[in-house]
Amino acid sequence: MADARPRSGLLALGGDPLSGADPAVVFDLYNEPHDVSWDCWRSGCVAPGGLRAAGMQQLVDAVRSARARQPIMLTGLRWGNDLGGWLAHRPSDPRGQLVAGFHVYDFNSCANAACWDATVAPIARSVPVVTGELGQRGCAHGFVDRFMRWADPSGVSYLGWGWNTADCSGFPALIADFSGRPTPYGAGLRAHLAALDR
């Protein structure tokens, strides 16, 4: 979680530095929280190692006090794959523009339709859900295809991960080289998105 000291990172903002920020920007406040409870996620805590961690409520308050009007994405626990406590611990936002962030890969614990139906779909009925990281090892796309087929009618958005040229043995890669030539995974994602446009 983020350092709660007042002069660190986002919490050091003063005045209204975000008031003129591009309205198309979505703030993702903390990527992949892990090894903390839902109470810590919302309200902060002393994290392992003694760090005083800011909770999502403190981060939301910092963004709003800087006069940002954009949506704010709050990613779930366990590296973003656990949304089980998101609604019960949802911070207050005076603008009512919170977004639940979800990450899913073929190796995560919540990697099947039964889990998505139980934990992600109920949240999507209350607030937007953005799958900020979606991927599969081995440059394949069967798992990603299953997720997209579930997400589309469920109103869950998704972004492919990642725009890099990894060999796909342990990390998903959408592209084979920086000319943009897709891997099989990238080609599968592109084909799915192209079919949605028809």
Write the pLDDT tens digit of every residue in 89-147.
999 999 999 999 999 999 999 999 999 999 999 999 999 999 999 999 888 999 999 99
Q: Report the distance separating Cα 2 and Cα 142, nearest Å.
A: 35
Residue located via tokens 């591009």: 22
For helices 142-154 and 184-196, give the axis angle rounded to 10 degrees. 20
Q: Please, is 183 exposed, middle or buried when counting C-beta atoms within 10 Å of its C-beta (0-12, 13-18, 19+)?
A: buried
The residue-averaged pLDDT of 63-85 equals 94
Please give the average per-residue pLDDT across 38-58, as a whole number: 91
Longest dimension (CA), the chain: 53
Per-residue pLDDT band at 68 (split at 50, 70, 90): confident
Looking at residue 25, what is its pLDDT? 80
List, in order, residues 6 or more apart from 133 with CB less than 8 Å away: 80, 103, 104, 105, 159, 161, 162
DSSP character for 138?
G
Residue 11: per-residue pLDDT: 47
**Domain extents in the chain:** 24-196
CATH, range 24-196: 3.20.20.80
Q: How many residues does the chain have?
A: 198
Helix or strand holding residue 122 (H, E): helix 121-124
